[in-house]
Amino acid sequence: MSAVQSAAPDTTVETERDILFRVVNRVAIITLNRPAALNALSHAMVRELAVLVEHCRTDSGIVALVLKGAGAKGFCAGGDVREVHRLAKSGDHRWLAFFVDEYRLDYALHTFPKPVVALLDGITMGGGMGLGQAARLRIVTERSRIAMPETRIGFLPDVGATRFLSVMQAEVELYVGLTGATLSGADALRLQLADLCVPAEWLASFETRLQRMPHDGDLMAALRAVFEPPCNIIPHAALGSLTQSIVRHFDRRSSVERIVATLRHELEREPPREVKQWLQATYDAMVSHSPTMLYVTREALLRGRQMTLAECFRMELGIVKRVIEEGDFCEGVRAQLIDKDRRSRWAPATLAQVRPERVRYFLTSPWKSEAHPLAGLGAEQG
Per-residue pLDDT tens for 346-368?
999 999 999 999 999 999 999 99
C-alpha 34 chain-centroid distance: 17
C-alpha 16 chain-centroid distance: 26
The pLDDT-based confidence of 373 (bands split at 50, 70, 90) is very high
In this predicted structure, the answer to whether residue 274 has a pLDDT above a threshold of 80 is yes
DSSP assignment of 252-264 equals: TTS-HHHHHHHHH
Provide the whole-model pTM: 0.93
Average pLDDT score, the chain: 93
C-alpha 363 chain-centroid distance: 20
Predicted local confidence at residue 10, as pLDDT = 35
3-state SS of the chain: helix, strand, coil percent to 5?
Answer: 55, 10, 35
State residue 214 phi and psi, 5-degree precision.
Answer: -75, 155
In this predicted structure, the answer to whether residue 121 has a pLDDT above a threshold of 60 is yes
C-alpha 178 chain-centroid distance: 14
Please tell me which residue, 92 or 379, carries the higher pLDDT value.
Answer: 92
User: Residue 189: is it exposed, middle or buried by C-beta count within 10 angstroms (0-12/13-18/19+)?
Assistant: buried
pLDDT tens column, 8-26: 333 333 447 999 999 999 9
User: Residue 23: is it exposed, middle or buried by C-beta count within 10 angstroms (0-12/13-18/19+)?
Assistant: middle
In this predicted structure, the answer to whether residue 31 has a pLDDT above a threshold of 90 is yes
Predicted local confidence at residue 4, as pLDDT = 31
Of the chain, the percentage scoring pLDDT greater than 70 comes to 95
In the chain the domains, ranked by start, together with CATH numbers, are 3-381 (3.90.226.10)
Predicted local confidence at residue 232, as pLDDT = 83
In this predicted structure, the answer to whether residue 304 has a pLDDT above a threshold of 50 is yes
Nearest to 250, CA basis, from 209, 298, 311, 319: 298
